[in-house]
Amino acid sequence: MKEKVVLAYSGGLDTTALIPWLKENFNYDVICCCINCGQGAELDGLAERAALSGAAKLYIEDVVDEFCDEYIVPCVQAGAVYENKYLLGTSMARPVIAKRLVEIARKENAVAICHGATGKGNDQIRFELGIKALAPDIKIIAPWRMTDIWTMQSREDEIAFCESHGIHLPFDASHSYSRDRNLWHISHEGLELENPAEAPNYDHVLVLSVPPQKAPDAETEVSITFEAGVPKTLNGKEMKVSEIITELNRLGGENGIGIIDIVENRVVGMKSRGVYETPGGTILMEAHAQLEELILDRDTMEMKKKLGSQFAQIVYEGKWFTPLREAIQAFVESTQEYVTGEVKLKLYKGNIIKAGTVSPYSLYNESLASFTTGDLYDHHDADGFITLFGLPLKVRAMKMAELKKNNLK
C-alpha cells in the first residue's frame, strides 16, 4: 500500500501539475484537499479536474463560518492592520487552511503535506509554520524550492507536463494577474502592478468592486450592531458573521469601498506591490472602530492600538499558533465586553461617512463635553491640573535658563 500525501489543492494549473509530479517523484497516493474560505465559483468543477489529474481522493472542506468566527472576528476586534493599509485577507486565512490540512492528513494517515506556494512569497512561511505547530512529525513538501526535481519555470512548462501525463484540461497559457480570494478579500499581483511607477488598470484588475469614480452618485445607508465586539445585525436583520460580510461585500463593492494599492514589506525581506479589494471588511473594521471610540477609555485604547499593530504583524508572519497571539487575543477579548451598540454609516464613492453611533456603555457625557458648564466639571479645576501636568516642562525650562545665565551651556 502506497504512502499518502495531502495536497493543498486549488484546481489551478500549479496544483494540478503537482498531482502527477508527486506520484512520479515520490510514488505517493495524492489526497487533494481544497479548503473553501469563501472563494465562490473557483470551486466549480474541482472533483472532475482532480480525478482527471490522477488524484486518489478529493476533499472540499467548507470552513467559511470557522474562518469568520475564529480568525476574522479576532482580527477585527484587535483592529489588526498591517503597515497601516493591509487588512490581512490572505494572512488570516492561512492558519485555518493549515489546520484543516493537518486534520485531513491525520484522518488519512498521510506522511506528508504539499503546498504550491512559491519560494519568494509569504504563504510558504504561513503554511509551514502552521503545519509545524500542529503536526511537527509530518513531512512538508514545497516543490518550488526543490529545484533539482521541480524544473517547470512557466505556465507553458506546466501545461506541457500535464499533457505529457495525459491531462488535457483547458488551461490558458497567457499570463494574468496572480490572485488570492476568500470571503474577506481578493488580492491582485503581477502584470503592470509589478512596476510601482505604473497606475493599476482598475477596469481589468477589480473583481469585487467598481472604481470610486464609477460608483453611484447616491449614498448607501448601512446600520451594523455589535454585541461584545461581534457583529450581529446588518440593516436590522440578524445574520451570521459570514452573511454580514457577504452582504457588506456587495454594498461596499458597489460603492468603491476598500480598494488599496500598497507596496508592502514581505516576511522574506523584499518589497512587493499589490492591489487589494476588501469592501465588506473595510466597512466592518471602520464600524467596529467607531463603536470603540465611544466605549473604551483612553489608556485601554492606546494599549490596544499598540497590541493591535503587533497582532497584525504576528498574523502576517504566520505565527497564529503561538502563545503570543493567544496572549494578545486574550487581552483584546477582555476589552470587548462592553463593545455593544449600533453604528450607522453612509457609503459614497469610496468613502465611509459617519451617520451616528449609540451604545448603552458609551463613556461620552454630553454634559462634560459641551461648551456649557455642567455639574461634573468646574473650569477652575484645570488650573491645578495644568500646573502639575506641565511641571516637568517648567522645571526643565528653569534649569536651561539657569545654565544659560551661568554660561554652562
| Grid cell of 308 as nine digits | 493591535
- Give mean pLDDT, residues 59-71: 97
Same domain as 275, residue 216: yes
Q: CATH number of the domain that 130 lies in?
A: 3.40.50.620
Which of 45, 24, 23 shows the shortest CA–CA distance to 34? Answer: 45
Please say if the pLDDT value at position 209 is more than 70.
yes
Task: State whether residue 194 is helix, strand or coil.
Answer: helix
- Residue 127 and residue 9 in one domain: yes
Q: What is the mean pLDDT of residues 95-111?
A: 98
- Long-range CB pairs of 172-176, under 8 A, 24+ apart, other chains included: none
Query: Do 234 and 292 reside in the same domain of the chain?
Result: yes
- 14 an active-site residue? yes
- End of a domain among 164, 193, 210? 164
Q: Can you read off the three cell numbers belonging to residue 182?
A: 476568500
183/255 same-domain check = yes
Cell of 271: 518589497
In this structure, are 117 and 185 located in the same domain?
A: no
Residue 174 confidence (pLDDT): 77
Answer yes or no: is pLDDT of 26 > 90. Answer: yes
147-155 long-range Cβ contacts below 8 angstroms, 24+ apart? 149/25, 150/21, 152/17, 155/13
Q: What is the pLDDT, as a whole number, of residue 374?
A: 62
CATH number of the CATH domain containing 288 = 3.90.1260.10
Domain co-membership, 264 together with 241: yes
**Overall pTM surpassing 0.75 (yes/no):** yes
In sequence order, which ranges of 119-237 are alpha helices (DSSP H)? Answer: 123-134, 155-164, 202-205
Cβ neighbours of residue 61 under 8 Å, at least 6 residues apart?
33, 34, 35, 36, 100, 104
Whether residues 118 and 202 fall in one domain: no
Pairwise CA distance, residues 266 & 1, whole Å: 41
The residues near 310 (Cβ < 8 Å, ≥ 6 apart) are: 328
Inter-CA distances, 199 with 151, 217, 262, 283, 289, Å: 34, 24, 12, 25, 30
- Among the residue ranges 205-219, 259-273, 349-363, 378-392, the one predicted with the least confidence is 378-392
Give the percent of the chain with pLDDT over 90. 86
pLDDT exceeds 80 at position 289: yes
Q: How confident is the model at residue 361 (pLDDT cuts 50, 70, 90)?
A: very high
- Reported as type and span, the H/E element at residue 68 is none
Q: What was the pLDDT predicted at 364?
A: 94
Written as one letter, the residue type at 394 is K
| Annotated catalytic residue within 10, 29, 49, 94 | 94
> Average pLDDT of 373-385?
79
Give residue 137's domain range: 4-63+93-164
> CA 252, 46, 2: angle at the middle one, nearest 5?
135
Q: Which of 65, 155, 178, 261 is catalytic?
A: 178
Q: What is the mean pLDDT of residues 12-25?
A: 95
30 lies in the same domain as 114: yes
Query: Are 229 and 339 in contact, with CB atoms under 8 Å apart?
Result: yes
Catalytic status, residue 94: yes
154 and 279 part of one domain: no
In a domain, 88, yes or no: no
- Examine the domain organization and report whether 24 and 147 are in the same domain: yes
Q: Taking a C-beta distance cutoff of 8 angstroms, is the pair 279, 257 a contact?
A: yes
Query: Is residue 327 included in any domain, yes or no?
Result: no
Count the domains in the chain: 3
159 and 191, same domain (yes or no): no
Q: Which residues contact 309 (CB under 8 A, 6 or more apart)?
A: 80, 81
The answer to whether 291 and 339 are in contact (CB under 8 A) is yes
Same domain, 59 and 134: yes
Confidence class for position 372, pLDDT limits 50, 70, 90? low
371: pLDDT strictly greater than 70: no
Domain contains 320: no
Residue of 53, 123, 187, 209 marked catalytic: 123
Whether 313 is covered by a domain: the verdict is: no
Mean pLDDT, rounded, for 216-245? 98
Residue with grid cell 528653569, as numbered in its chain: 398
Res 176 pLDDT > 90: no
